[in-house]
Amino acid sequence: MSEVIAIVNQKGGCAKTTTAVNLGVGLALAGKKVALIDADPQGSLTISLGYREPNQPKVTLATIMTTMINGEGIEPMEGILHHEEGVDIIPSDITLAGLEVSLSNVMSREMILKDYVNLIRERYDYILIDCMPSLGLLTINSLVAADSLIIPVQAAYLPVVGLQQLLQTVSMVRRRLNRDLQIRGILITMVDYRTNCARDISAKLKEAYEESIGVFETSIPASVRLVEASAEGSSIFIHDPSGKAAQAYQRLAEEVLSE
């Protein structure tokens, strides 16, 4: 059975896209068939994997969802890009922002992405959705389409404060739109254990949420190598395979597979 995992946080700068890319490649390295859906109009995942040319690719998630809204036929694999590191990508660009505005007038507007995911999910072991940093209709679509979610949280004060709002939205989606949605856990990211603040916040997150929601044993270190990998259009497994960040994402992939 395939699993659709949304990687979501309404706060930017929490390594959400970085996690989508490197967890996806980590699962692919373990022999799994993986697709990455870029559900952010900024197209950060698409850019991070090397697709930077203007107006390219021509088929994006906005194109696909518009086709679904219009009730037109679609070839399930149309527009899917095949990255050299073994993952498939459904890319995104700024046109997705315009689609979110128009979604408000669409019948069953929360279900559009789920309908598309159902067309392709039998082809993959894992589909990871990189959500946009807000709690708008595109994020709701991602939560409805998902079986589970991972919440990356930076080890800093303000990102932790906003976590409760996200959990309230998840609870609403469970009650009204997707009763089977599960939270795999909170992933603590961008951790600098040399600072007392990062250590304290990590400990408090585990104390507050480990029993009720779950916190991954793996945490992701703050690393300039991760930034460099995104700039090169590759995963950390290509850019710095023996580094701490690559080891952390490998352990995260093993945690996901073990569950």
Q: Is the pLDDT of residue 157 over 80?
A: no
Amino acid identity for residue 162 in this structure: G
Q: Are 103 and 109 in contact (CB under 8 A)?
A: yes
Query: What number of CA atoms fall less than 13 Å from residue 257's CA on the CB side?
Result: 19
Q: Is the pTM of this model over 0.85?
A: yes
Q: What is the pLDDT of residues 35-61, one digit of tens each?
A: 999 999 999 999 999 998 756 678 999
Pick the closest to residue 143 from 1, 10, 2 (CA basis): 10
Enter the tokens of residue 238.
């290509």
Are 240 and 247 in contact, with CB atoms under 8 Å apart?
no
pLDDT at 177 over 90: yes
Band (65; pLDDT cuts 50, 70, 90): very high
Task: Please tell me the distance from the alpha carbon of residue 21 to that of residue 143, in angstroms, as a whole number.
Answer: 18
DSSP string, 1-41: --EEEEE--SSSSSSHHHHHHHHHHHHHHTT--EEEEEE-T
Which of 241, 251, 192 has the alpha carbon at shortest distance from 216?
251
Q: Give 18's strand partners.
A: none
Q: Are the C-beta atoms of 137 and 110 separated by less than 8 Å?
A: yes
Residue 204 pLDDT grade (very low, low, confident, very high; cuts 50, 70, 90): confident
Domains in the chain, CATH or no CATH each: 3-258 (3.40.50.300)
- What is the separation of C-alpha 213 from the centre of its chain, rounded to a whole number of angstroms? 18
Q: What is the pLDDT of residues 107-141, one digit of tens each?
A: 889 999 999 999 999 999 999 999 999 888 999 99
* C-alpha span between 94 and 239 (Å, rounded): 28
**Cβ atoms within 10 A of the Cβ of 43, count?**
21
